[in-house]
Structure 1
Amino acid sequence: MAAHTLLKFEGHNYFRQRLVLATLSGKTLRIDKIRSDDQNPGLRDFEASFLRLLENVTNGSVIEISYTVYKPGVITGGKVSHDCGVARSIGYFLEAIIALAPFAKTPLHLTLAGITNDNVDLSVDTLRTVTLPQLKRFGVEDGLELKIIKRGAPPLGGGEILFHCPNVRQLCPVQFTDEGRIKRIRGIAYCTRVSPQTANRLVDSARSVLNRYIPDVYIYTDVYKGPESGKSPGFSLSLVAESTTGVLLSAERAAEKGETPEDLSRVAAKMLLAEVRRGGCVDSANQWLNLLFMVLGPEDVSKVRVGKLTPFTIQYLRDLKDFFGVAFKIKPDATSQTIMMACLGIGYSNANKKTT
């Protein structure tokens, strides 16, 4: 890898993904004009916090905030604790770390505190039930775990999670092209510092929509009390549709001010149905992770069928080309309205992994 290659970007968009790609590729990153037209230019607190977390899980990284230059070091892993604050949820931080953790020197044991569920970032529920199984498909399995210790609703948070990820020498190639048929829907309805009956209302309302399409719907209720319930009242619903071939498609919704459990459930259920309609073997939220691991896989062809590409994924494909020089073969399927994505892996190897 060209360790001293400098890549330049402008603007605050795609900040996390470019830092992750720089860390994996070993390329120095410079980002100019961050909110240059804003009254308050530069990095926000949560972005600076993410940089601190990145510093904690790596060794030898050099970060020059004044110039926004990032020279990546070695991903070390080990035991790390970080307070995410309340500007962005835990998902903002954890989603990016999940992409780095398998390539650490030692297995990562990460404790994060903050908001567990909101409508801006992926919730810890979706990361646990949908994102982590994606890693298993690429060979990251033994000891992979995400535990929710405390719930934390916005605005004050107070949640806490534990994330354990093993490290691997290399990923496995993937051929994931058969969508199968949706066979069941599972979900988690959680509430904190509100009536326990709220969780049941979430379940009943969601089932009233979903049972029209499929009989096998089961939604777990997760009621938190006392110290484990965080600092703010709140409730949310996370749904997962599973197909006969192991496809996992997700949708979720957290309560906004004044929103009833019934309204929230109906919105979440319709979001899940829209995700199912898009098709593909990977849902919208996890397209980027699958594409990244396909690029980092062995020097072999990996194929994944996806639904409509999100704007985030389209930019991610451009960034993958900049950092790794890999272009995807993109083949639309007119019959199923899905897209077949294929690429040749670069044979990325975790040279830092200690042999046991």
Structure 2
Amino acid sequence: MPSTTASNPTPVEKSRLLRFTGHSYFRQRLVLSLLSGRPVRIDSIRSDASSPGLCDFEASFLRLIEKVTNGSHVEISYTGTSVLLRPGVIAGGNVSHDCPTSRSVGYFAEWIMVLAPFAKKELSLTLRGLTARQGDLGVDTLRTVTLPHLSLFLPLDTLSTLSSALELRILKRGSPPLGGGEIHLRCPTLAHLSTLNFIAPGRIKKIRGIANATRVSPQMANRMIDHARSILQRYIPDLYLFADVYRGDDSGKSPGFGLSLVASSTTGAIYSSEAISRPSNQETGEEALTPEDVAALAARQLLEEVAKRGCIDPAHQPMVLTLMALGPQDVARCRMGKLTPNAIQTMRDIKEGLGVTFKVKRVQDEDQTSAQQDDDDDEEEEDEDEADNHPKRIVPEEIMVSCVGINFRGFKKVA
């Protein structure tokens, strides 16, 4: 259990201490401390809020870090507004953790996946709680999007020698507010990562989706599938959505339904979206979402993500940037859409914690150039009055991000 008194760092620690303020980017800063081996102190955590200090899910994440590491020491101030982490060894092994229902299991698994490849022993992690929550990565997204992004960094020469496959199994689903879901994550240890060179987004070739339902009529899943198909089939013929209905003890403690969509390109780029049901709330005036509402929300979000282009799903930009910095001492390159605020802050934290600086350059490929040229030609041929009735084609902003890794080897003993 974390200590409730925060002591002052030693003079040696002060020279290596990472200092941050605020509760934002809490998980990635703790993970950065474990990977760099440098202690981290986070102050002013909701110091001006009516309920200052750590929330229950942040304290739970600290407990999970203590379980997957060996020798880590966490100190929390009396008010909970300051946290000091002295990192230990990423041990791995068999770990089981109960997550609070204020956040989904995706909140906890997302950044633990970044630590897992560098553990001393293979990580076998069981998480219990909500399997879906608006604002967090759902378990379907973790399995179909997060794991493939992590697989980009697996060395090809070690795939045949891995002790087990990188996998995530959904044992039980748990909808808000009571949860009751359970997942199992297994990640093999790696001696090193491979260098990422992902610069061609390609064109969308297929869309897949999972409509899940717990403790409600299976017809809810079918209604989501029908409505999502009516929106997406006009864009691409290779569209397959299927229902995943859980019953009995495997369906958790609360009724709910949701839809997860994944679009894949010809070069392996993946874009995702997810929407879940919402009960009516008389206090806020929010109305309940019907299956058609959920399907429309997920489908439109997917189209927006695809329109942003790039090779990386926007929600996974921080994870990919972190793994690029930990890769071999070679130039890693990745083409991304517009950088999210989380990704921008991640690059700043990586520069401070690992000493890796990213080169960011705006990209304009042949498709974008031809699209812009077509717009310019149209403007020259048309009168000004006619041009006002034809809006310009929107060319999304794309960024080429590159860096030289630190060749992080992790804690696995190599014979």
TM-score interval, smaller chain: over 0.9
- 1-structure distance, mates of 2:302, 2:332: 27
User: Per residue, is there more strand in 1 or in 2?
Assistant: 1
Aligned-partner residue type, residue 125 of structure 1: D
> Is 2:406 the partner of 1:343?
no
CA contact (8 A) 1:106 1:354 kept: no
Q: Provide the residue aligned with 1:321 in structure 2.
A: 351
Deviation at 1:337, TM superposition (A): 2.6
Which among 281, 289, 305 is matched to residue 311 of structure 2? 281
Deviates more, 1:310-319 or 1:71-80: 310-319
- Corresponding residue of 2:119: 104
- Of 234, 238, 263, 2:260 maps to 238
Letter in 2 for 1:321: K
Match of 1:56 in 2: 67
Are positions 1:187 and 2:209 aligned together?
A: yes
Structure 2 matches for 1:253-268, cutoff 5 A?
253-257=275-279, 258-268=288-298
Counterparts in 2 of 1:171-250, with a 5 A limit? 171-250=193-272
Q: Which has more radius of gyration?
A: 2
> Quick one: which amino acid aligns to residue 121 of structure 1?
D
Which ranges of structure 1 fall in alignment gaps of 5 or more residues?
none
Moved runs in structure 1, 4+ residues, more than 6 A?
A: none
Task: Tell me which residue corresponds to 1:45.
Answer: 56
Which residue identity is paired with 1:98?
A: M
Identity %: 57
The one-letter amino acid paired with 1:275 is: E
- What TM-score does the superposition give when structure 1 sets the normalisation length? 0.97
Give 2:273's aligned amino acid: A
State the Cα distance separating 1:288 from its structure 2 match: 0.9
Output the CA distance in 1 between the equivalents of 2:361 and 2:42: 33
1:295 is aligned to 2:355: no
Q: d(CA) in 1 for partners of 2:56 and 2:293?
A: 33
Cα shift readout 1:77-103 (whole Å, capped 9, x = no counterpart): 000000002011100000010010000
TM-superposed CA distance for 1:38, in Å, is 1.1
Cross-structure match for 1:16: 27
**Structure 2 Cα separation of the partners of residues 119 and 216 of structure 1:** 28
Contact 2:191/2:414 (<8 A) preserved: no
C-alpha distance in 1 between matches for 2:201 and 2:175: 34
Conserved in 2, the CA contact under 8 Å of 1:17 and 1:96?
Answer: yes
Q: How is 1:54-93 mapped onto 2 (pairs within 5 angstroms)? A: 54-66=65-77, 67-93=82-108
CA contact (8 A) 2:111 2:319 kept: no
Aligned partner letter, 1:286: H
Shift of 1:65: 1.2
Q: Which residue identity does 1:133 align to in structure 2?
A: P
Q: Count matched residues.
A: 354
- TM-score w.r.t. the length of structure 2 is 0.84
Q: Secondary structure at the match of 1:288?
A: helix
**Residue 384 of structure 2 corresponds to which residue in structure 1?**
none
Whether 1:156 and 2:171 are equivalent positions in the alignment is no
The CA deviation at 1:341 is: 0.6
Which amino acid counterpart does residue 187 of structure 2 have in structure 1?
A: C
**What's the C-alpha RMSD, in Å, of the aligned pairs?**
1.3
- Who is 1:353 aligned against? 412
- Cα displacement string for residues 119-145 of structure 1 (whole angstroms, at most 9, x for unaligned residues): 121001101001101111111764100
